[in-house]
Structure 1
Amino acid sequence: MSTTPTPKPSPVVNHDELQKVFNQFDANKDGKISVTELRDVLKTMGSSCSEDELKRVLEDIDTDRDGFIDLSEFSALCRSSSDEVTAALELRDAFDLYDQDKNGLISTNELHLVLNRLGMKCSVDDCAKMIKSVDSDGDGSVNFEEFQKMMSASLMSNDKGSKP
């Protein structure tokens, strides 16, 4: 007997569920999530972020600028588009694919290695030129912020199509 799968309902988070999740982040139970608590939870979930990345995340979420995430700010974060969260995670995964030594930078050699593994035959010189074209701080490598800008610019040019 064949049955048609029922579509999964959209996730609706009620206040009690939201409070439980918030409480898991709020390790010291002071009613707010600090940058340290955020780092610890992300680390537990398998994500490794630098202190600067954590501070940027906190700044984005912390609308009242008190240095902490309260329940209402956390709630707003949970209501944010899951597409945006998914896209951000996919971008981080893509960056991590190239960052072979996990130092937060994509070097010419790492780019060369990964592109060749993916079947794209590029010389080291070609890879150096690619790195240089997006290396805004001039350190000879691409950091995550530069990678984000490069990918955003790439997506924007693809969205515009081939208009003269």
Structure 2
Amino acid sequence: MAANTDRNSKPSVYLQDPREVQSVFNRFDANSDGKISGDELAGVLKALGSNTSNEEVARMMEEIDTDKDGFINIQEFSAFFKAETDPYPSSGGENELKEAFELYDQDHNGLISSIELHKILTRLGERCTEQDCAGMIKSVDSDGDGCVSFEEFKKMMTNNSGSNSQAEPPK
């Protein structure tokens, strides 16, 4: 997940379904205490390959932690990722999607392969096989090349119908 630290920016990922929001929240909440600490946020960003500085993590925490208790609860997390009616706001939503895509595109060839997806999901603690990842990719691979292009990724991430749940990793 690409995280944009600009205080005026919109969230980088457009989560539509409350179950998706809870699932992503649970991945961030490493110790399952119902809140995300700065260390947990930094850990997920690092696992995704982001070189986010401690200062950037602190700014992100400050932006999302609206009750200023030092943690992000599910309500704050959900509010931060609340779906926009326009998935490409003038603040650069497409650029943010490109950043998220690039986290998965480990070899920077413009495509996400099942190997790359498996690598990232494994780093995030998901238990799935490369075959599972190939199936996830197949569900959004409209041109049949066995990979996810940015256009396919963008379509999946901005799908308002919730049908992108097919691309979620197995639990």
TM-score grouping bracket, smaller chain normalisation: 0.3 to 0.5
TM-score by length of 2: 0.43
**TM-score relative to the length of structure 1:** 0.44
Whose helix fraction is larger, Structure 1's or Structure 2's? 1
**Structure ID, larger Rg:** 1
